[in-house]
Amino acid sequence: MVDFSTIMILVELFLLVFGVQMFSASHLSKINQESYPGYFHWRPHTVVSNFLMCPDACNHNIIFRRNFAGNNVVTCCVKNAQPFWNISKSNLLDVLHLKTTREYWFFEGIDTSAVNVYFKVVYQQGDLKEIPDILCKSKKIVEINFSANQIENIANIDCLHILDTLNLSFNRISSLKNTTFRVLKYLRVLNLSYNKIQYIEPNTFNYRPGSLMKINLNRNLMESIDVTNLLIDYWFDRIDLIGNRISKFTNELSNKFNFSIGGGTINLGHNLISEFPNLPKLGIPIDILLSGVFKYPINIFKNPIKCDCKFGSFIKTIQLAAKHFEGPRIFICKDPPLLREKRLIDINEDLLTCDISMQHRCPPECNCYEQPSRSRVVVNCSSTRKRKIPSVCPQQDDLDIDFSHNFISGFEYHTYLNRTFSINLSNNRITSVDPFIYGIVKLRNINLQHNKILQIHKNVLLMTNDHKISFGRISIKCSCEMKWIESWLENQLRRHGVYNSINCHIRGRNIQASSISEICSFVKPNSTVKYVIFSVVISIFVSLLLCLKMKYELCLLLRNFKRLYLNRFNNNDSVEPIRFDVYISFNAENSNIMKWIKTVVSNLEKNGYKICLPPRDFDVGGVHVDQISTEIANSISYLVILSDDYLKSQFQMIEWNKIWAHYKTNIYRNIVVINYDISDSVNIQDRKLKAFVRLGFTFDFCNFNNKLMNDIELKLRRTEKLQLLT
Ligand SMILES: *[C@@H]1O[C@H](CO)[C@@H](O)[C@H](O)[C@H]1NC(C)=O
Ligand SMILES: *[C@@H]1O[C@H](CO)[C@@H](O)[C@H](O)[C@H]1NC(C)=O
Ligand SMILES: *[C@@H]1O[C@H](CO)[C@@H](O)[C@H](O)[C@H]1NC(C)=O
Ligand SMILES: *[C@@H]1O[C@H](CO)[C@@H](O)[C@H](O)[C@H]1NC(C)=O
Ligand SMILES: *[C@@H]1O[C@H](CO)[C@@H](O)[C@H](O)[C@H]1NC(C)=O
Ligand SMILES: *[C@@H]1O[C@H](CO)[C@@H](O)[C@H](O)[C@H]1NC(C)=O
Ligand SMILES: *[C@@H]1O[C@H](CO)[C@@H](O)[C@H](O)[C@H]1NC(C)=O
Ligand SMILES: *[C@@H]1O[C@H](CO)[C@@H](O)[C@H](O)[C@H]1NC(C)=O
Ligand SMILES: *[C@@H]1O[C@H](CO)[C@@H](O)[C@H](O)[C@H]1NC(C)=O
Ligand SMILES: *[C@@H]1O[C@H](CO)[C@@H](O)[C@H](O)[C@H]1NC(C)=O
Ligand SMILES: *[C@@H]1O[C@H](CO)[C@@H](O)[C@H](O)[C@H]1NC(C)=O
């Protein structure tokens, strides 16, 4: 017979030998057997360890600090949960003292009879060089304190399946592999402070399934760290890296982060971080930076931070984070000297700049810097005695250039002007501006005050409404071709409040450019002598052109000219009696035109015109050709709708030829052509109509609105006026 105690020992041995799976059940039973007032059993699905008891307070208290960064209970418990043996009233944790003879290791103080007991192993002699294999014999080791020994290698701890706390501070470990801890799924607290760690492989801590929550790597020798070992993708309490030599961050495996799960405090105090890291290179999208700042509060206290332009774009985020966390409030600048010992969050963001050296194309003697707060790169060469405009400038975009107070005499084009939005050239000796410059789309602001500008090129009109140019007070030569300057000046004043006082030298007089038209509008009808000369020139021109068979064009021009002349002298000539004011000639088969014509007719009739609309006004029974002849003869003016299908029928040919014949013989008759299909003159067969289009004596249908109606009416009325004079 086997007695009861033997069975118990066998059971215990069995449990010792057969690993973790069996334990899970027994832990639970232990947790359940005892009640732990003030705690609840905490086991979220992302955490393997089922030893953990979380204070009830975590379920109740809203911890404001992180309340919008994630689950409160989780963030509270990763920080405050404890293994149940630590809070149990009964002693569930036995300390095993590891001892050695020359030949073998043994445990002192093992009490094999206590089934419910877990072990903490300690070794305090200080000469331990490696983890002894004997640890694998006991499957109930949950804590190890091998602090202050000489361990270099920890690759063989993988048998400690339910290890909760590993204290290896003050040892000689120099690197960590990402396979070492992966197997320790219960490991929650890892203390590797005061070792000689220089390198940690990527993805060493962010493994799942696992339970890691507190990592201490203080006072090691790391110069860089991979971001996968900081932005651990699950909830943890903290990772401390105080007192290393970290200045660089790496992302060896080009991971991408989205901060969708997890977070925890990262303490990088007392390192050598000086620059704001290049986030995109580290796989951190800038647009989620804000959520990152809240999920991973980072402390970089006592780092030699260079408060420069790299912080410029993020200062707003950092200031916001500082409202909620201590960390960013104590970012203290080491550089530049001007900002030394200042808190980053107190600095005016305009001061977060990066100087650009001559190697990076800052012109000699100038002051160049990048200023993200104003989205610009300043190139300041003010008062540097330059005689020419520098030929190179920094390669960045958005240059804001100050070349004022120099001796520059010409403003030539350089390619960097395409990257410039503002240039100040005031107080130089500039006489000429390359007209090409006015066409640069990006260049929105040009200051040319206090220079010696002699001319303003018409290209200045290329500067659109949001572009501003100030010439200040200048004196230039003008001609009557510069009448555009009037409205341009007015526009600059109205849009930008830029007052350019431009003095014009014209016809031996000095006037303000804003009143140039007062001089220029009197030019044409000055002396009859000029008029005669003009006519002579014209007639020579006429005969020349006649040879070139521009017969109809000339005819039209001459006629226009004659009418002007008649208009002036009110010559009395005779006209046949009339029945209609306007005869309308168009292709009645084109239904679109037909529709439109109706509005034209009603519009004109409203204005008192008598209209002949052939489809309407011709007698149904009459001879069509005869009626055409009569009514054309009975009308003063002709409205011709020139469409692509006009003149396609024979009747229309006759109609048009009759109109032309009457028009030609009587100076008072008028033809108004509407270019309905906006045909080009080359596409028009009929040479007379072609002449109208070529000379621009037509109205395009495209400006169809009241303006077109008004134009037509005006043109017809002029005829009528002449008529009245007779
Ligand atoms: C156990 O509890 C004590 C006191 O509450 C605490 O200082 C210690 O860190 C705890 N140990 C573990 C492993 O949680
Ligand atoms: C761990 O071991 C070290 C060195 O032996 C000792 O000083 C320290 O008190 C121990 N810590 C704990 C929590 O047991
Ligand atoms: C690790 O050991 C050090 C002493 O060497 C001690 O201060 C610290 O509390 C220990 N940590 C844990 C988690 O036991
Ligand atoms: C780790 O060990 C260091 C040094 O002994 C100690 O100061 C620190 O509190 C420990 N941290 C943790 C999390 O155990
Ligand atoms: C562990 O680190 C090595 C580089 O040292 C890397 O190639 C490997 O992918 C990492 N393993 C994991 C799981 O990330
Ligand atoms: C974030 O990444 C994880 C895995 O890396 C993925 O499961 C999750 O869908 C991602 N979330 C978003 C919002 O992209
Ligand atoms: C350029 O420097 C001068 C003084 O050196 C300063 O007055 C001026 O405002 C600066 N210009 C710009 C655009 O910063
Ligand atoms: C241009 O420089 C002058 C002189 O330095 C200064 O008075 C003026 O305000 C500057 N204008 C612009 C637009 O920068
Ligand atoms: C600079 O801008 C002008 C006008 O916007 C453009 O015609 C020219 O091609 C640009 N030059 C370069 C080098 O981009
Ligand atoms: C026309 O020109 C002559 C000189 O050619 C000049 O004397 C006269 O004043 C001018 N007339 C007008 C109205 O400008
Ligand atoms: C035009 O002729 C009419 C009579 O035929 C006459 O009364 C009128 O004065 C003439 N007008 C002019 C400007 O000669």
pLDDT in tens, 637-662: 899 988 888 888 888 888 999 899 88
Which residue, among 278, 216, 223, 214, has the nearest Cα to 248 in the 3D structure? 223
CB 145 less than 6 A from any atom of ligand 2 = yes
Task: Give me the count of residues in the chain.
Answer: 726
Q: Residue 516: helix, strand or coil by DSSP?
A: helix
Query: How many angstroms does the Cα of residue 323 sit away from the middle of ligand 4?
Result: 29
Residue 563 near residue 723, CB atoms below 8 Å? no
Q: Is residue 322 over pLDDT 80?
A: yes
| Residue 69 scores a pLDDT above 80 | no
pLDDT at residue 697, as a whole number: 81
525 CA distance to ligand 10 middle (Å): 9
Percent of the chain's residues with pLDDT above 70: 87
- Quick check: CB of 189 below 6 Å from ligand 4? yes
pLDDT, one tens digit per residue, over 441-452 is 999 999 999 999
* 86 touches ligand 1 (CB under 6 Å): yes
**Ligand 9: which residue has its CA nearest to atom 14?**
418
Cα 366 to chain centroid, rounded: 29
Does residue 50 have its Cβ closer than 6 Å to ligand 7?
no
Place 112 in a pLDDT band, splitting at 50, 70 and 90. low
Decide: 90 and 83 in contact? Cβ < 8 Å.
no
Report pLDDT for 22: 43
Average pLDDT of the residues in 568-588: 68
- Which pair of tokens denotes residue 88? 């149990």
Both tokens assigned to 349: 């963001």
Q: How far is the CA of 85 from the centre of ligand 1 (A)?
A: 10
pLDDT for res 525 = 54
User: Distance (Å, rounded) from C-alpha 508 to C-alpha 43?
Assistant: 97
Ligand nearest to the CA of 374: 7
Average pLDDT over residues 703-718: 71
pLDDT tens-digit map of 354-392: 999 999 999 999 999 999 999 999 999 999 999 999 999
**Residue of 402, 424, 306, 282 whose CA lies nearest to 354:** 306
Residue 311 CB-density burial (10 A; 0-12 exposed, 13-18 middle, 19+ buried): buried
Q: Name the burial class of residue 196, with classes exposed (0-12), middle (13-18) and buried (19+) by CB atoms within 10 angstroms of its CB.
A: middle
Q: Residue 320 has what pLDDT? A: 84
For residue 418, which atom of ligand 9 is closest to its CA? 1
Residue 397 contacts residue 377 (beta carbons within 8 Å): yes
425 Cα: distance to centroid of ligand 8 (angstroms): 8
Ligand nearest to the CA of 208: 5
Q: How far is the CA of 262 from the centre of ligand 10 (A)?
A: 90
Place of tokens 């804003």: 514
Residue 122's pLDDT band (cuts 50, 70, 90): very high
Looking at the CA of 214, name the nearest ligand. Answer: 4
Question: Nearest CA to 472 among 493, 495, 496, 498?
Answer: 498
Average per-residue pLDDT for the chain? 83
Pocket test for ligand 5, best of 199, 201, 207, 251 (most atoms within 8 A of CB): 201
Predicted TM-score (pTM) of the model is: 0.63
CA 65 to chain centre: 33
**Residue 710 near ligand 6, beta carbon < 6 Å:** no
Q: Is the pLDDT of residue 8 over 50?
A: no
Distance CA 281, CA 285 (A): 9
Cα-to-centroid distance, 82 and ligand 1 (Å): 7
Distance, CA of 122 to CA of 134 (rounded, Å): 13
693-710 average pLDDT score = 73
CA gap 263, 297 in Å, rounded: 8
Q: Determine if ligand 10 sits within 6 Å of the CB of residue 569.
A: no
- pLDDT tier, 113 (very low <50, low <70, confident <90, very high otherwise): low
Per-residue pLDDT reduced to its tens digit, 462-473: 887 788 898 988
Residue 156: partners with Cβ closer than 8 Å, 6 or more residues away:
130, 131, 133
C-alpha R_g of the chain? 47
Considering only CA atoms, which of 307, 370, 315, 313 is closest in space to residue 341? Answer: 307
> Which pLDDT score, from 0 to 100, does residue 142 have?
94
**Which residue's CA is the closest to the ligand 5 atom numbered 5?**
201
For 137-253, list the strands marked E by DSSP. Answer: 141-145, 165-167, 175-176, 189-191, 199-200, 214-216, 224-226, 235-240, 248-250
pLDDT-derived band of residue 29, with 50, 70 and 90 as boundaries?
low
Residue 522 in contact with ligand 10 by CB distance below 6 A: yes
Pocket-forming residues, ligand 9, beta carbon under 6 Å: 415, 418, 439-441
- What mean pLDDT comes out for the span 245-272? 92
Q: With a cut of 80, say whether residue 261 has pLDDT above it.
A: yes
Closest atom of ligand 1 to 82 CA is 14
Q: How far is CA 484 from CA 125, 435, 459, 460, 499, in A?
A: 97, 16, 11, 10, 16
Q: Which atom of ligand 1 lies at the shortest distance from residue 83's CA? A: 14
What residue's CA is closest to ligand 2, atom 1? 145
Q: Is the pLDDT of residue 203 over 90?
A: yes
Pocket test for ligand 1, best of 79, 80, 86, 147 (most atoms within 8 A of CB): 86
Dihedral, CA of residue 609, residue 610, residue 615 and residue 618, to nearest 10: -170
The Cα 509–Cα 638 span in angstroms is 48
* Residue of minimum CA distance from atom 7 in ligand 6: 260
Residue 161 vs residues 49, 84, 211, 307, 326: alpha-carbon distances, Å: 10, 17, 12, 47, 37
Give, using CA atoms, the residue closest to atom 5 of ligand 3. Answer: 147
Query: Does residue 526 have its Cβ closer than 6 Å to ligand 10?
Result: yes
In the predicted structure, residue 68 carries a pLDDT above the cut 60: no
C-beta of residue 318 within 8 angstroms of C-beta of residue 325: no
